[in-house]
């Protein structure tokens, strides 16, 4: 039956191709069907409210569930080794659903002080309006995490490697510490690492968040997000944060992401191989001051990267000796292979200049001490670079053209 195919003994490449898929019993279609129907005609009288549907397993309305989306959810849960997955319209819809669905007035959140800009602004600007207290912490430092946990702390949220400076956090150590201190939820935004590198649930996390827009979809043509975790927790989240907040994934996007996800393990091998070659080229380039790539021995947490990441992924940042503003200008006009654009994890290489002052003023707003730590990675700014799966020589030639 479609959506049910799953053998837990399969390897990651087989899972990526087959999990959640299967021959359609009616048409014998080998590839997943795209079911766009927003409503479904049940063969029994079923409850109307999401809270009043006990026992009914079928589809009723696409905000509650949809067959194509359900196939993707089965696949992504399998890739992360999780019991259940809930898909959302974007990574931010997934992050919001998890934060707002699990935290209430009076609860306290400990979260990385450096992370994806959308998440950073959501927890700084929106959550406090609902009475949720937030502490911004360098989660690569266990002592800092411990110092900020209090009885009201319901969640510790880490992002590793963290946008945009590629700072890692030790998932098993943070999860063990947080749980030991009585924290209910440890959530990991694993978008940069991807399940090819790290499976946070295996390391003790309770939830994993992905922007499916990035590596899992992989082709830059469909936004999506996902939360993966225990079935019991996801069922509860589904009732409120999916059905009532309503940020569900379009079946068409689910269908595109399903297709992208099938080649995910192969793409990640290519991303890593190309990224390593490009990182070495940049590290040797006279115009480049520093390269932060977890796969390079020069990364300050390379030892942790080797322990925690089975694939170093395709994300890196680098700093130049000359100001990045002028180089970014040249990139907009002169790059031939790499696109000067935000986003990441696509088959196509993407690069973007992120000046530290702008980030501090608009998004991170770090205190002097935390700002100094950020600047120790980022200096005046970094080029955030998502290495695609083109030939490394062509990417390097493109960089040579703009670095001078
Ligand atoms: C892109 C991204 C998000 C947000 O995902 P969208 O699909 O753009 O909403 C969240 N976290 C990280 C680490 C990201 O890179």
Per-residue model confidence as pLDDT tens digits over 210-221: 999 999 999 999
Q: How far apart are CA 192 and CA 271, in angstroms?
A: 12
C-alpha 392 to ligand 1 mean position (Å): 26
pLDDT in tens, 360-393: 988 889 989 889 988 888 888 999 999 999 999 9
Q: Are residues 289 and 333 in the same domain?
A: yes
C-alpha 287 to ligand 1 mean position (Å): 30
Q: Are residues 127 and 62 in the same domain?
A: yes
- Residue 248's domain comprises 12-261
Res 266 pLDDT > 80: yes
Res 52 pLDDT > 80: no
Decide: 215 in ligand 1 pocket, CB within 6 A: no
Which entry of 199, 214, 267, 373 is annotated as an active-site residue? 214
Decide: 159 in ligand 1 pocket, CB within 6 A: yes
pLDDT value for 192: 98
154 classed as catalytic: no
Q: Are residues 32 and 48 in the same domain?
A: yes
pLDDT value for 49: 67
- What is the side-by-side order of every strand in the sheet holding 133-137? 84-88, 225-229, 207-211, 185-189, 153-159, 108-112, 133-137
User: Is the four-CA dihedral 285, 287, 289, 290 of positive or negative sign?
Assistant: negative
pLDDT tier for residue 341 given thresholds of 50, 70 and 90: very high
Q: Are residues 229 and 81 in the same domain?
A: yes
pLDDT in tens, 268-296: 999 999 999 999 999 999 999 999 999 99
Q: Is residue 225 part of a domain?
A: yes
189 classed as catalytic: yes
pLDDT in tens, 36-47: 999 999 887 776
Q: Is residue 63 part of a domain?
A: yes
From atom 8 of ligand 1, which residue's Cα is the shortest distance away? Answer: 91
Q: Are residues 253 and 120 in the same domain?
A: yes
Q: Are residues 121 and 184 in the same domain?
A: yes
pLDDT tier for residue 184 given thresholds of 50, 70 and 90: very high
Buried b (16+ CB within 10 A) or exposed e, 31-64: ebbebeeeebeeeeeeeeebeebeeeeebbebbe
Decide: 112 in ligand 1 pocket, CB within 6 A: no
CATH number at residue 374: 3.90.1150.10
Global pTM exceeds 0.85: yes
Domain-ending residue, one of 261, 284, 309: 261
CATH number at residue 175: 3.40.640.10
Tell how many helices (H) and how many strands (E) occur in the chain: 14, 12
Pocket probe for ligand 1: among 166, 200, 214, 221, the residue whose CB has the most ligand atoms within 8 Å is: 214
Q: Are residues 107 and 209 in the same domain?
A: yes
From atom 4 of ligand 1, which residue's Cα is the shortest distance away? Answer: 91
Domain-ending residue, one of 261, 295, 330: 261
Decide: 193 in ligand 1 pocket, CB within 6 A: no
| Residue 384 neighbours by CB under 8 Å, 6+ apart | 163, 164, 315, 317, 344, 351, 352, 353, 354
Beta carbons of 256 and 239 less than 8 angstroms apart? no
Q: Is residue 4 part of a domain?
A: no
Q: Is residue 356 part of a domain?
A: yes
What is the total residue count of the chain? 404
Decide: 217 in ligand 1 pocket, CB within 6 A: no
Q: Is residue 3 part of a domain?
A: no
Decide: 160 in ligand 1 pocket, CB within 6 A: no
Least confident of 1-5, 84-88, 149-153, 286-290: 1-5
Number of domains the chain contains:
2
Decide: 214 in ligand 1 pocket, CB within 6 A: yes
| Residue 139 neighbours by CB under 8 Å, 6+ apart | 110, 111, 112, 113, 145, 156, 158, 160, 162, 169, 174
Q: How far apart are CA 33 and CA 3, in angstroms?
A: 10
Residue whose C-alpha is closest to residue 177's, from 212, 216, 204: 204
pLDDT value for 3: 45
Q: Is residue 2 part of a domain?
A: no
Pocket probe for ligand 1: among 95, 158, 162, 191, the residue whose CB has the most ligand atoms within 8 Å is: 191
Q: How far apart are CA 302 and CA 294, in angstroms?
A: 6
Q: Are residues 168 and 293 in the same domain?
A: no
Which entry of 189, 206, 233, 398 is annotated as an active-site residue? 189
Q: Count the neighbouring beta carbons within 10 Å of the beta carbon of residue 345.
A: 29
Which entry of 63, 230, 310, 375 is annotated as an active-site residue? 63
Q: How far apart are CA 212 and CA 20, in angstroms?
A: 16
**3-class DSSP assignment, residue 85:** strand
- Pairing of β 350-355 and β 288-292: unpaired
**3-class DSSP assignment, residue 134:** strand
Decide: 116 in ligand 1 pocket, CB within 6 A: yes
C-alpha 211 to ligand 1 mean position (Å): 5
Q: Are residues 141 and 169 in the same domain?
A: yes
| Residue 342 neighbours by CB under 8 Å, 6+ apart | 350, 352
Decide: 225 in ligand 1 pocket, CB within 6 A: yes
Pocket probe for ligand 1: among 114, 117, 118, the residue whose CB has the most ligand atoms within 8 Å is: 118
Q: Is residue 276 part of a domain?
A: yes
Q: Count the neighbouring beta carbons within 10 Å of the beta carbon of residue 104.
A: 11
Q: Are residues 230 and 102 in the same domain?
A: yes
Q: Count the neighbouring beta carbons within 10 Å of the beta carbon of residue 100.
A: 18
63 classed as catalytic: yes
Of all helices (H) and strands (E), which one includes residue 109? strand 108-112
Q: How far apart are CA 85 and CA 77, in angstroms?
A: 5
Atom number of ligand 1 nearest to Cα 192: 13
Res 51 pLDDT > 70: no
Domain-ending residue, one of 210, 233, 261: 261
From atom 6 of ligand 1, which residue's Cα is the shortest distance away? Answer: 91
Q: Are residues 250 and 290 in the same domain?
A: no
Q: How far apart are CA 194 and CA 366, in angstroms?
A: 27
Q: Are residues 269 and 220 in the same domain?
A: no
Q: Is residue 1 part of a domain?
A: no
Q: How far apart are CA 385 and CA 388, in angstroms?
A: 9
Q: How far apart are CA 358 and CA 363, in angstroms?
A: 8
């Amino acid at each position: 039956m479609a959506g049910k195919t799953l053998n837990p003994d399969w390897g990651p490449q087989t899972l990526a191709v087959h999990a959640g898929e299967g021959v359609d019993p009616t048409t014998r279609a080998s590839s997943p069907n795209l079911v766009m129907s927003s409503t479904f005609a049940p063969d029994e009288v079923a409850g109307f409210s999401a809270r009043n549907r006990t026992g009914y397993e079928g589809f009723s309305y696409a905000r509650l569930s949809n067959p194509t989306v359900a196939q993707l959810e089965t696949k992504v849960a399998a890739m992360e080794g999780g019991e259940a997955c809930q898909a959302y319209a974007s990574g931010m819809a997934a992050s919001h659903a998890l934060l707002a669905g699990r935290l209430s007035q009076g609860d306290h959140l400990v979260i990385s002080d450096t992370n994806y800009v959308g998440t950073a602004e959501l927890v700084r600007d929106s959550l406090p309006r609902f009475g949720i207290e937030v502490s911004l912490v360098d989660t690569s430092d266990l002592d800092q995490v411990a110092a900020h946990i209090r009885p009201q702390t319901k969640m510790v949220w880490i992002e590793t490697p963290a946008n945009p400076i590629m700072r890692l956090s030790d998932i098993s150590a943070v999860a063990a510490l947080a749980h030991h201190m009585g924290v209910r939820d440890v959530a990991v935004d694993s978008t940069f690492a991807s399940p090819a590198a790290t499976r946070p649930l295996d390391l003790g996390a309770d939830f994993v968040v992905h922007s499916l827009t990035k590596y899992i979809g992989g082709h830059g043509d469909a936004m999506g997000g996902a939360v993966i975790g225990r079935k019991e927790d996801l069922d509860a989240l589904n009732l409120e944060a999916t059905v009532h907040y309503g940020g569900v994934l379009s079946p068409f996007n689910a269908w595109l992401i399903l297709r992208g996800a099938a080649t995910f393990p192969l793409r990640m091998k290519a991303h890593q191989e190309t990224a390593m070659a490009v990182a070495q080229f940049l590290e040797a380039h006279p115009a480049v001051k520093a390269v932060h790539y977890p796969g390079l021995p020069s990364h300050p947490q390379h030892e942790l990267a080797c322990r925690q990441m089975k694939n170093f992924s395709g994300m890196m940042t680098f700093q130049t000796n000359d100001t990045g503003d002028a180089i970014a200008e040249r990139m907009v006009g002169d790059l031939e292979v790499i696109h000067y654009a935000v986003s990441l994890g696509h088959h196509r290489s993407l690069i973007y200049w992120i000046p530290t002052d702008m980030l501090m003023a608009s998004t991170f707003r770090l205190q002097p001490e935390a700002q100094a730590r950020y600047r120790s990675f980022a200096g005046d700014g970094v080029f955030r670079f998502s290495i695609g799966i083109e030939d490394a020589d062509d990417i390097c030639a493109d960089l040579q053209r703009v670095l001078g």
